[in-house]
Amino acid sequence: MEAAKNIDYEKWLSLTIENLHQALDHNNIGKLDGRLWKSIMGEVIHSGQDVEKIVIKFIQYGRFVDMGVGVGRGVKNGKRKVKPWFSKTKTREVARLRTLLINDMAIKAIQEVEAGMKDDLEISLINKK
């Protein structure tokens, strides 16, 4: 994935982590200074000038809470409930990143076409029969 000059990946990542924290709070999961809250972190990994990937990490317990399972028991026992703090937030944030990338690539394509047209554009107004 080529690094887009118009997209601030670090800003997107920090907003995504903030939204994950808000999802924990919204779903009443843990404490604001608990292990899960503190474990959420991210990193933008570069390969030269390009962004290779964006990684978001947190303790495995967070996935169990998200799915409503744990300690060998499923959702069926009645005590655990699905609290989709991660899956819904991730889906929404990935869609937002995809939109940002699509818009940025469209702008780049238009700029390249415009740059190419400046040099090579020749319009003929002669009507050949």
Establish if 88 belongs to a structural domain.
yes
Range of the domain at 57: 9-120
Mean pLDDT of 59-65: 92
Establish if 125 belongs to a structural domain.
no
Are the CB atoms for 53 and 45 separated by under 8 Å?
Answer: yes
Establish if 126 belongs to a structural domain.
no
Q: Is the model's pTM score more than 0.85?
A: no
Mean pLDDT of 61-79: 76
Average pLDDT, the chain: 84
**123 pLDDT band (50/70/90 cuts)?**
low
Question: Which token pair is 118?
Answer: 């400046």
How many structural domains are present in the chain? 1
Of residues 80 and 102, more confidently modeled: 102
Query: How many other β-carbons are positioned within 10 Å of the β-carbon of residue 28?
Result: 8
Amino acid occupying residue 9: Y
Q: Is the pLDDT of residue 108 over 70?
A: yes
Question: Which token pair is 43?
Answer: 């990193």
Q: Is the pLDDT of residue 57 over 90?
A: yes
